[in-house]
Amino acid sequence: MAQQTSLDPLWQKVDTIWAEYARTHDLSGQGRLAVGVDPATGEVFLGESAKAIIAKLDAEGRPRRLYFRWSDDPYYKHKGARR
């Protein structure tokens, strides 16, 4: 797992993408969601778990490396596509 630091520009980009998404989308009443953020495209993916998000993207032929967090947790986990 990559360690998050406030000085890392990539982590700052991921934080910015998630903050904008959370600000512009109503997530209330949806409970705890896994959130996958792709810093390369700015896309945000939601699901029951990181594993479920990866499986869905793989099934669609769109594997990618994502930064994961829970919608109610400020810490990220770095997981992604196997190549």
Q: Render pLDDT for 2-39 as a digit per residue (tens, 0 to 9).
A: 555 555 888 889 989 999 999 999 888 888 899 999 99
C-alpha span between 30 and 11 (Å, rounded):
25
Q: Render pLDDT for 31-75 as a digit per residue (tens, 0 to 9).
A: 889 999 999 999 999 999 999 999 999 999 999 999 998 887 766
Cβ contact 11:4 at 8 Å: yes
Q: Is residue 3 part of a domain?
A: no
Q: Is residue 4 part of a domain?
A: no
Q: Is residue 2 part of a domain?
A: no
Residue 64, domain extent? 9-79
Which residues are registered as beta bridge partners of 2? none
Q: Is residue 44 part of a domain?
A: yes
Question: How many domains does one find in the chain?
Answer: 1
Q: Which residues of 14-25 are buried (b: 16+ CB within 10 A; e: fewer)?
A: bbebbeebeeee
